[in-house]
Amino acid sequence: MLYYDSICSALIDRFPEVFDLYENEYESELRWPHVIYENYFVRYIKRVLRSGSEQTAGIFEFLEDMATSADQEVRNLLQVSVLEALADRDDTRKLMQPLMGPETRKIYEKLHNYMYLD
Task: State the chain's maximal CA–CA distance in angstroms.
Answer: 38
pLDDT at 117 over 60: no
Q: What is the 3-state secondary structure (H, E, C) of 55-114?
A: HHHHHHHHHHHHHCCCCHHHHHHHHHHHHHHHCCCHHHHHHHHHHCCHHHHHHHHHHHHH
Position with higher pLDDT, 23 vs 91:
91
Give how many domains the chain has, as a whole number: 1
21 band by pLDDT with thresholds 50, 70 and 90: low
H or E stretch covering 51: helix 42-51
d(CA 53, CA 73): 29
Predicted TM-score (pTM) of the model is: 0.89
Mean pLDDT of the chain: 88
90 band by pLDDT with thresholds 50, 70 and 90: confident
Domain that holds residue 81: 4-115
Q: What pLDDT digit, counting tens, does each position of 37-84 carry?
A: 998 899 999 999 999 888 999 999 999 999 999 999 999 999 999 999
